[in-house]
Amino acid sequence: MNKPIVNKKDLLTQLITHLQQEIDATLNAVNEAHALASHEQSKPENQYDTLALEAAYLAHGQSERIAELQRQVMLLNHFEFLDYSEESRITIGALVCIQELEDDSLAASPQWFWVLPVAGGQVLSLNVLGFSCDSLNSDSLNDIEVRTITAKAPLAEKLLGCNLGDEVVLNLGHKKKQFEVIELL
């Protein structure tokens, strides 16, 4: 199998762009909540009128979210990404492809995950060159969908320390699902 050419810097740029868009949207919401909290029509008419107080709490919570997103962007900008070989163990920063095993045979579509210290839950599109493998699971021949997960995610906890070809079992409620690591970049 040919090793794909992946530029994690391009993937990182896409992730930081997503985070920056979230920062911008949240900043707009903070400004609206602040304007509502300080508007003259928001002055309480009686002790039960809490519109201004609620708006102030909302603005504060959103400001904390902005600070967290900015911390994530700063951490990602300074994160050192490693190159992985077939003998490498999965660590934070690894781009991992897993496939669900059903009845000892590969059945489900492969899934790509990027294990990161922060910014889990994002869906990115990665262009992969020079790769002819069944793990390409998108409409475009060279694009794959990559989900970011943090090391605290149950799947990441199972994957960290694994090697290419290892199998992991994940408990999802009352169901157990078994996955095989089929690619590590």
Find the CATH number of the domain harbouring 110: 3.10.50
Domain span holding position 68: 8-77
- 71 with 101, same domain: the answer is no
- 100 with 179, same domain: the answer is yes
Residue 56 CB-density burial (10 A; 0-12 exposed, 13-18 middle, 19+ buried): middle
**CA–CA gap between residue 16 and residue 22 (Å, rounded):** 10
State pLDDT tens for residues 170-184: 998 899 999 999 999
Number of residues that make up the chain? 185
State pLDDT tens for residues 36-46: 767 677 666 77
19 found inside a domain: yes
**Residues 59-88: what's their mean pLDDT?**
93
**CA–CA gap between residue 8 and residue 84 (Å, rounded):** 12
90 found inside a domain: no
How many domains does one find in the chain? 2
Phi, psi of 84 (to 5 degrees): -110, 145
- 126 with 72, same domain: the answer is no
Q: Is the pLDDT of residue 132 over 60?
A: no
Beta bridge partners of 148: 114
HEC profile of 95-132? EEEEEEEECCEECCCCEEEEEECCCCCCEEEEECECCC
- 175 with 102, same domain: the answer is yes
